[in-house]
Amino acid sequence: MRATPRLVAIAICLIVLAIVPPVATAMGEPYYLRLFERIMIFAIAAISLDLILGYGGMVSFGHAAYLGIGGYAVAIFSYYGVGSGWVHFPVTIVGSALIALFIGAISLRTSGMYFIMITLAFTQMLYFLGVSLEEYGGDDGINTDRSGFAKLIDLYDPWTLYYFTFGWLLLCLLISWRLVNSRFGMVIRGAFSNETRMQAIGFPTYRYKLAAFAIAGAMCGVAGALLANITEFVTPEYMHWFRSGEIMVMVLLGGMGTLFGPLLGAAVFLLLEEVLKEVTQHWQIIFGPLFVILVLFARRGLWGLIPDREDRDG
Amino acid sequence: MAEPILAVSGLVKRFGGVVATDNVHFDVTRGEIHAVIGPNGAGKTTFVAQIAGQLRPDAGRIVFAGEDVTRLSGPQRSQRGLARSFQITSVFRDLSALANVALAIQAHAGHSFRLWRRADRDAALVEPARAVLADVGLAARAHVKSGNLAHGEQRQLEIAMALATRPKLLLLDEPTAGMGAEDSERMTAFLATLKSRYAMLLIEHDMNAVFALADRITVLVYGRAIATGTPEAIRGNDAVRAAYLGDDMPDRVA
Ligand SMILES: Nc1ncnc2c1ncn2[C@@H]1O[C@H](COP(=O)(O)OP(=O)(O)OP(=O)(O)O)[C@@H](O)[C@H]1O
Ligand SMILES: [Mg+2]
């Protein structure tokens, strides 16, 4: 494989993420672990959204729902004394996938603005469900233990927690890389590019889009479970529409329909937030215009700005 | 007459006040090219879209290969061997010509819940796709993004995608649309080579192509089939002359 600028960028990204714990420890700045964990978790959420948004053209404005489902799966099971990660993560994945199937089954019957609004509405329902569940802290949220994996993985060890998150990120990148290039991925991309044609050549597109919607939900659920683990705290805010918007901004910023764009987008978004917050509390005032300029001038986001070898062309 | 591959009866489609298909009875026999001609807005595309399953008729019945397909979806009809091409080129513009055809092959190669192996290195898709591209004369252009193909080449790709689904009946909506005389003649010659392999419903404005290819012609005007018959019979039909053909009509069968 030739070392194109993009491959170099990928390598740098992954190496940086891999060496954060020793570097942060050496610098005496354990806070960086937390920051980069957040980056990786939102990267997973953004990667999962990009599967349906960037590759499938499904503009889900309710993707934060699955962050909440993953978060509450950890918190509620822990609340009842089931602290095992072997329960938390499978429940998160299956639960998020099922809820995504339900939401998708209804919302995918619509398109355009209606789709956006319906996905938003479902997430708002889940948000208010979270607010109304006094037993689990309601509005105030609920503290939770971290997931336990017997003696195998100790998430109370900072480095372990970090590399556990990193492992999930790598897995999600691998899955989405394989997925988008598989037969299944071709159907999803084809349905975005020209759904009429897809149906005319014989694809029942709905079921494939629904499956992609569920896979994306499950992946984002994992991000939620990880977020609960690093913060040891879950609130309905996980599912706030503002969150859904942020994840979408990360995808757009990094580059829709690209594999590493969402990771880049999540990193730049959270790092900019970190830096700009030092300048002003209303950091969006600075971020907003930057974002608009980028989206206007770089169709494929930051990732699209990194040169690739030219596509073969007539 | 042999049992028709396609039999349409009493088909009606209204768009508000416009009756785009007005109680049409129509059939295509096996191995036949049945052309549908008519002035702009006569309802030809609407007719094809109902047969292929993109539009639901308001009334009528569509029987394909002995099965009532009126209530089946577009993808289901495609699976049964109905393939259409589009008057306005409808391809995956961001994919290569080869990938376009491979996708059509994939649609008929079992389910696509295959999530892991790369599709673009799947010989079971790529090899047949190459063969179809070669068939329509696009082999040398396989790796060009279809959006960057010349118009005539895109029209060839349209046909290739329909052929890749291994259809029993081709529904071709103006295959020569937008083509110059030369390309148009080449397309007509190519369609002639398909004649022995496929039954076709051919919509065409190019009268040379129609009279060169068609076994039968149906004339559609304001959604109504005003005449059906051999090219000679249609040529001699006064109502057809009055409604549509006029000076366009070639004097001899080309
Ligand atoms: N989706 C639609 N909604 C409303 N009216 C439509 C629609 N599609 C077609 N029509 C109308 O139905 C009539 C038939 O249109 P159609 O496109 O089938 O004609 P056509 O014979 O294919 O014409 P052309 O030769 O220009 O391709 C026209 O009056 C058109 O305006
Ligand atoms: Mg038409």
Please, what are the averages of pLDDT over each run of 10 residues along chain A (314 residues)?
84 96 94 96 98 97 97 97 96 98 97 95 97 94 94 93 98 97 98 97 98 98 98 96 96 95 96 90 86 86 84 40
Cβ A137 vs Cβ A79: under 8 Å: no
What was the pLDDT predicted at B244? 66
Residue A2: phi and psi, rounded to 5, are: -75, 145
> Which residues, including other chains, have CB under 8 Å from residue B140's CB and lie 6 or more apart?
none
What was the pLDDT predicted at B252? 40
Q: Answer whether residue B19 shows pLDDT above 70.
A: yes
Beta partners for residue B170, in sequence order: B83, B200
Structure tokens at A130: 């979270």
Beta partners for residue B26, in sequence order: B8
**Helices (runs of H) and strands (runs of E) counted in chain A:** 13, 2
Between the CA of B71 and the centroid of ligand 2 the distance, in Å, is 23
Cβ A44 vs Cβ A174: under 8 Å: no
Domains of chain B are 1-81+167-254 (3.40.50.300), 92-165 (no CATH)
What was the pLDDT predicted at B1? 53
Counting Cα atoms < 13 Å in the Cβ hemisphere of B213 gives 34
The response to whether residue B40 sits with its C-beta less than 6 Å from ligand 1 reads yes
Buried b (16+ CB within 10 A) or exposed e, A260-296: bbbbbbbbbbbebeeebeeeeeebeeebeeebeebee
Kindly list the domain boundaries of chain A, sorted by start residue.
5-313
Rounded Cα distance between B90 and A24, Å, is 54
Rounded Cα distance between A3 and B69, Å, is 53
Q: Which of A73, A63, A11, A13 is nearest to A42 (CA)?
A: A63
> Which residues, including other chains, have CB under 8 Å from residue B75's CB and lie 6 or more apart?
A199, A202, A203, A204, A205, B53, B107
Residue A310: phi and psi, rounded to 5, are: -60, 140
Between the CA of B15 and the centroid of ligand 2 the distance, in Å, is 15
**Is residue A29 exposed (0-12), middle (13-18) or buried (19+ Cβ within 10 Å)?**
exposed
Report the nearest-CA residue for atom 16 of ligand 1. Answer: B43
**A202 and B120 in contact by Cβ < 8 A?**
no
Between the CA of B87 and the centroid of ligand 2 the distance, in Å, is 6
Question: Residue B245 — very low, low, confident or very high, per pLDDT cuts 50/70/90?
Answer: low
* Single-letter amino acid, residue A124: Q
Residues B204-227 have a mean pLDDT of: 94
Report the nearest-CA residue for atom 25 of ligand 1. Answer: B40
ipTM, interface predicted TM-score of the complex:
0.92
> Which residues, including other chains, have CB under 8 Å from residue A208's CB and lie 6 or more apart?
A184, A187, A188, A191, B112, B113
Cβ A134 vs Cβ A9: under 8 Å: no
Beta partners for residue B218, in sequence order: B36, B228
Structure tokens at A132: 């109304």
Q: Answer whether residue B157 shows pLDDT above 60.
A: yes
**B145 and A313 in contact by Cβ < 8 A?**
yes
Cβ B98 vs Cβ B90: under 8 Å: no
Please give the angle made by the CA atoms of A72, A74 and A77, to the nearest 5 degrees: 95
Give percent above pLDDT 70 in chain B.
95
Residue labelled with tokens 């069968």: B253
What was the pLDDT predicted at A313? 38
Find the CB nearest B79 among A185, A198, A202. A202
Strand, helix or coil at B120? coil
Query: What is the torsional sign of CA B57, A195, B38, B251?
Result: negative
Report the nearest-CA residue for atom 24 of ligand 1. Answer: B40
Find the CB nearest A194 among B73, B83, B92. B92
| DSSP notation for B211-236 | HHH-SEEEEEETTEEEEEE-HHHHHH
Rounded Cα distance between A294 and A302, Å, is 8
Orientation angle between helical segments A261-279 and A241-254, nearest 10 degrees = 110
| DSSP notation for B72-89 | S-HHHHHHTTEEEE-SS-
Strand, helix or coil at B35? strand
Q: Where are the beta strands (DSSP E) in chain B?
A: 6-15, 18-28, 33-37, 59-64, 67-68, 82-85, 169-173, 199-203, 216-221, 224-229
Q: In chain B, what residues touch A199 (CB-CB under 8 Å)?
A: 53-54, 73-75, 78
Report the nearest-CA residue for atom 11 of ligand 1. Answer: B20
The response to whether residue B15 sits with its C-beta less than 6 Å from ligand 1 reads yes
Q: Answer whether residue B169 shows pLDDT above 90.
A: yes
**Is residue A163 exposed (0-12), middle (13-18) or buried (19+ Cβ within 10 Å)?**
middle
Orientation angle between helical segments A261-279 and A284-297, nearest 10 degrees = 150
Q: pLDDT digits over B50-66, tens only? A: 999 999 999 999 999 99
Nearest CA in chain B to A314: B144
Cα B53 to chain centroid, rounded: 13
| Radius of gyration from C-alpha coordinates of chain B | 18
Q: Which of B235, B202, B193 is nearest to B83 (CA)?
A: B202
Q: In chain A, what residues touch B75 (CB-CB under 8 Å)?
A: 199, 202-205
Strand, helix or coil at B1? coil
* Sheet containing strand B67-68, strands side by side: B18-28, B6-15, B59-64, B67-68
* Single-letter amino acid, residue A12: I
Q: pLDDT digits over A40-61, tens only? A: 999 999 999 999 999 999 999 9
What was the pLDDT predicted at A136? 95
Residue B65: phi and psi, rounded to 5, are: 50, 45
Q: Which pTM does this prediction carry?
A: 0.93
